[in-house]
């Protein structure tokens, strides 16, 4: 792709710039810009190709995961509800929510209180709706329920 920039046309520049050295300098800059554009086009094409390849890989992985899940559910070794809860919990663990620094204190570079461990993923109790840490729940056929609700279920 060859581009002729308007600055290279004779008569466009003010008379004071119409000397050979300036024109040469502008020519060099213009060619540099063109070379950069070509490089950018190539880099963009490479990135687009990589994104397309990754999308294909993700589709293949989704197909494998779906097939494995169906197989395990068919064999009765996996409860679809439990799978959903576990998948959500794993996803939450990999994607912790952004911490608003204003909620923590006035240290802009400290995102969690000193000594605090990273937050445990939370799920909603299917009985009372409270969001509780996964470790404080019992997995039931109806979904996860919090420990207090689980205890209540057996004590009346």
Interface ranges with Zn ion (CB under 5 A) = 125, 127-128, 146, 149
101 vs 148, beta carbon nearer Zn ion: 148
Length of the chain: 156
Residue 85 burial (CB count, 10 A): 19
133 touches 120 (CB < 8 A):
yes
The minimum distance between CB 76 and Zn ion, in angstroms, equals: 28
Handedness of CA 97, 102, 108, 113 (dihedral sign): negative
The minimum distance between CB 127 and Zn ion, in angstroms, equals: 4
Q: At what angle do helices 80-94 and 20-74 cross, to 10 degrees?
A: 150
The minimum distance between CB 149 and Zn ion, in angstroms, equals: 3
88 vs 112, beta carbon nearer Zn ion: 88
145 touches 130 (CB < 8 A):
no
* 71: three-class secondary structure by DSSP: helix
The minimum distance between CB 150 and Zn ion, in angstroms, equals: 8
7 touches 30 (CB < 8 A):
yes
List beta partners, residue 54. none
79 vs 130, beta carbon nearer Zn ion: 130
86 vs 127, beta carbon nearer Zn ion: 127
119 vs 128, beta carbon nearer Zn ion: 128
The minimum distance between CB 130 and Zn ion, in angstroms, equals: 5
């Amino acid at each position: 792709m060859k581009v002729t920039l308007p600055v290279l046309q004779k008569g466009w520049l003010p008379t004071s710039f119409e000397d050979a050295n300036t024109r040469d300098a502008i020519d060099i800059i213009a060619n540099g810009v063109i070379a950069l554009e070509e490089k950018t086009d190539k880099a963009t094409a490479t990135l687009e190709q990589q994104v397309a390849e990754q999308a294909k890989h993700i589709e293949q992985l989704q197909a494998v995961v779906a097939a494995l899940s169906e197989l395990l559910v068919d064999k009765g070794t996996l409860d679809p509800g439990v799978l959903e809860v576990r998948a959500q919990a794993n996803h939450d663990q990999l994607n912790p929510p952004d911490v608003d620094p204003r909620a923590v204190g006035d240290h802009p570079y400290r995102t969690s209180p000193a000594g605090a461990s990273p937050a445990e993923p939370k799920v909603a109790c299917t009985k009372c709706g409270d969001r509780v840490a996964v470790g404080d729940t019992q997995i039931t056929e109806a979904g996860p329920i919090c420990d207090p609700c689980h205890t209540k279920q057996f004590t009346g």
